Structure 1
């Protein structure tokens, strides 16, 4: 590092420390104040979703911090205490929970699954659909009695819902038993926030509209030692008209390639068999960096690392470029299953959604991938009942499903999100019509899934064994290279290995089989 870089890094650290100190001073002043004071503080420091301003976000504000550590004063804060985190939503939220768990355990906390013995309960929330938010508010209602029984219990709400002004105001006004609210950009501040929650007489609210930081060296408590999630970027700049993610997760910020590669090498050395790269729009990786290095280049580098399986999610068709297709075509440890959200099969609806590709462009991309990877399989996301979607437009989605031959799809009825452009669209499609379309689409999804599974009967596939089946401890379970769930008989010693399994029966969503030989060595 040269003198100029050292000077810039010191300036960043000083700025970051100043931001933290300012927030802590503000919270200290509010300790003895009322809930109304907290609402005023939140409204003064939080910026609600603003499409025009958000779309002007620049890359120059991205700051990298390599020096995360838990200060000595927080290291014993959780000794003798237990925590429970309930996670809603996507893999990114799951991975955020792993980070929060890692931080809490370095503070002395112990994990528990029993809410009655927990000293702290955090709800890591999802804002992408109204139903997800309703589940969280329902859970907050259930937790109220626990707070009455144990006034020292800390209840916190974090994640994407916490980035929404209306949600935070609703919690402050109606859920007085919630002690702590923090956003997606504040996870690294968890030690300070927990201490403030214990010391404050009122609730602690810290939700930064400020964004741009990438924090390295965060501790993680991963689930198991077989599969691992690795964030390669954060945020999204696509601004689809129905989506709240660009506001709750902020602008696109890529981690540096060397940090990602080092993390994957470390995981390989620990014996992990699979990594999945995560990002709200993983295909946009590297576009905010000052180097010519994208997702294709990153995948090409990890292809050389001794780890059997590498995946990535979630893709946006606009950023799925030829370089990535070329690298995926090399195979090796790069898995041939592609999750490629289409959302609609009609070009006019796609335009209203702000997806910025047409039906024809999507199909052309799929054909390119199939040509480079003949054995590739596809899954997708689809929204039905987008405002004023006609029957003919919905039928375009149905025929596109046929043309691609998806083997799975996550399907949803359009859910308006406050602060997004689509929330203001006039909609004359009835709820009953939307439900009927969803039923018809799901019938097709189920039929294609069943057909895709049927072709595996009698075949031998490679399965990464994750553990016992959820329904039968005498049966093992794992996933194929194409992400198919396999339940099979075999020795418990196979857990954590990649083994060959002969498929004896195909079901709609899983396969049954018998292990035919010892663990397969994958190079």
Structure 2
């Protein structure tokens, strides 16, 4: 099937887009097909999905345009108005070839069921240096602002055996790093008969030699003492955790239905950073949630300031159809939310600089993702962006480097056996 897959949204979507491309390559259909893997996590994500579909419809008027995934489930009418011919929800993603065939002959849509994740496996090499490995889907936390848990279906986990087999394939394909992704990794294994934990999964994956592992994002309740101990004792587990905070105010967290307090969040983050060598942290922060006043926003700033995270992803709250928070009052004016987001972004720049500067003089291992002349650029094990100068290494190589300076937005390094950049 002559199909092009376009992706909006998270790393789970990116993984699934690779799977979709592999499935579509096996099918046959006349003409040109564009598949848009959509996102509905925010109003902005909905808009990006619609805009992409509208552009594809304008540029490829004769093509079949298929909208799949979260947006197809949660915001389908808008995607159809933008120009999508066919909507395929998350439940039927893995049967996309059949869905397209049915549509082309005017048949009824399929009535699929939620698939077993062991059946999801990337068989070919990914274009990116850091490969993605999806091990979990669905969420039962039920945050009041979140649409994702409503459209992603029941909890499903890939068994450690199946995940390890996929990791072996990715390692053989030459990927030096595998990023473990899921909708809520803290709930990994809760649906499986043996109830393996995230620690159990990583222990199994570590049996695959020659590759390092990174967690994409994990809620604080998933950062157990056992997980921290595993990270502390295993150099092939990248010492960076992205911990969604959302708010540092306990009253707001309760209204969000987040399963932790601000103090519990800080305790988990500090335990990881204190115990794991060269650890760094990332965070998500939402501003403008209904009822967030200046005091609540100040608490968010205080929590993040105490941790000085390397990265902060900042979101302005947007009401999602079908969520409880869309009915909450008082709603925060857009101008106030924008001001808070700008304030937080300014502070986040300072926290990032401080976090980077902690590692000047340290030695790290950089996965070379970009090569330009005698320099490579990529991510270190603790997620620092590093440009290694005087180093003609192939893309995908792990380069040992000593960090010698800070530039705009990244650190500068030289090979670990050199003392200055060339």
Verify the 8 A CA contact 2:49 2:71 in the aligned structure 1. Answer: no
- Among 339, 352, 359, which residue is 2:242 paired with? 339
- Counterpart position of 2:7: 87
Mapped to 2, the partners of 1:145 and 1:326 lie a distance apart of 53
Alignment pair present for 1:156 and 2:66: yes
* C-alpha displacement of 1:505: 3.0
Q: Secondary structure at the match of 1:266?
A: helix
CA distance in 2, matches of 1:494, 1:312: 25
Of residues 381, 403, 418, the one that matches 1:481 is 381
SS in 1 for 2:244: coil
Q: Is this contact kept in 1: 2:145–2:323, CA < 8 A? A: yes
Q: Which runs of 5+ in 1 are unaligned?
A: 1-77, 110-117, 519-523
Q: Kindly state the Cα deviation for residue 254 of structure 1 after the two structures are TM-superposed.
A: 1.0
Match of 2:353 in 1: 450
> Is residue 89 of structure 2 the alignment partner of residue 183 of structure 1?
yes
Structure 2 equivalent of residue 22 of structure 1: none
Change (3 A) 1:329 1:457: closer
Do the aligned partners of 1:179 and 1:197 also contact (CA within 8 Å) in 2? Answer: no
Q: Secondary structure at the match of 1:289?
A: coil
Cα pair 2:122 2:166 within 8 Å, conserved: no
Closer/same/farther in 2, CA of residues 508 and 448 from structure 1, 3 Å limit: farther
Q: Which residue of 1 aligns with 2:278?
A: 375
CA contact (8 A) 2:280 2:355 kept: no
With 336-345 and 369-378 compared, the bigger mean Cα shift is at 369-378
Tell me how far apart the structure 1 counterparts of residues 317 and 21 of structure 2 sit (CA, whole Å): 33
Q: 2:396 aligns with which of 493, 496, 507?
A: 496
Report matched runs for 1:275-354 at 5 Å.
Answer: 275-354=178-257
SS at match of 1:133: helix
Query: Contact 1:182–1:205 (CA<8 Å) still a contact in 2?
Result: no
Specify the alignment match of 2:18 in structure 1.
Answer: 98
CA distance in 2, matches of 1:355, 1:262: 34
1:79-109 CA-to-partner distances (Å, cap 9, x unmatched) read xxx3222111100000011001111223369
Query: Mean alpha-carbon deviation: is it higher for 217-226 or for 279-288?
Result: 217-226
- Structure 1 residues 219 and 308 mapped into 2: Cα distance closer, same or farther (>3 Å)? closer
Deviations 1:29-88 (A, max 9, x none): xxxxxxxxxxxxxxxxxxxxxxxxxxxxxxxxxxxxxxxxxxxxxxxxx2xxx3222111
Aligned to 1:125: 38
| Secondary structure of residue in 2 paired with 1:236 | coil
TM score, norm. by length of structure 1:
0.74
Q: For 1:83 and 1:212, how far apart are their aligned partners in 2? A: 23
- Distance, in Å, in 1 between the alignment partners of 2:4 and 2:346 is 38
User: Following TM superposition, by how much is the alpha carbon of 1:476 offset from its aligned partner in structure 2, in angstroms?
Assistant: 2.0
Residue from 363, 384, 387 that aligns with 2:290: 387
Residue of structure 2 in register with 1:7 after alignment: none
Select the residue among 156, 176, 181 that pairs with 1:253. 156
Alignment-derived partner of residue 50 in structure 2? 137
CA pair 225-145 structure 1, distance change in 2 beyond 3 A: closer
Q: Give the Å deviation of 1:236.
A: 0.9
Alignment-derived partner of residue 513 in structure 1: 413
Q: What is the match of residue 271 of structure 1? A: 174
Distance 1:157 1:458 in 2: 48
Tell me: CA distance 1:432–1:420, structure 2 relative to 1, closer, same or farther (3 Å): same
Q: Is the 8 A contact 2:9 2:38 kept in 1?
A: yes
Moved more, 390-399 or 479-488: 479-488
Q: Does the 8 A contact of 1:229 with 1:278 survive in 2?
A: yes
Q: Distance in 1 between matches of 2:103 and 2:399?
A: 48
**Deviation per CA, 1:495-519, whole angstroms, max 9, x where unpaired?**
222112233431353123333559x
Equivalent residue number for residue 397 of structure 1: 300
Deviates most, 129-138 or 498-507: 498-507
Higher gyration radius (CA): 1
Match of 2:134 among 220, 227, 231: 231
Distance change >3 Å, CA 296–CA 503, structure 1 → 2: same
Paired with 1:284 and 1:268, the residues of 2 have a C-alpha distance of 26
Aligned residue number for residue 77 of structure 2: 169
Higher strand share: 2
Contact 2:118 2:159 in 1 (8 A): no
Residue 205 of structure 1, CA deviation: 5.5
1:404–1:137 distance in 2 versus 1, CA, 3 Å: same
Deviation string, structure 1 residues 261-288 (Cα, Å, up to 9, x no partner): 1222232233321111111111211111
CA-CA distance at 1:449 after TM superposition: 0.7
Q: Distance in 1 between matches of 2:129 and 2:53?
A: 33
TM-score for the superposition, normalised by structure 2:
0.91
Aligned-residue offset at 1:458:
4.3
Structure 1 residue 180, shift from structure 2 partner: 1.8
| Distance in structure 1 (CA, Å) of the matches to 2:50 and 2:417 | 49
- Mapped partners of 2:13, 2:408: distance in 1: 28
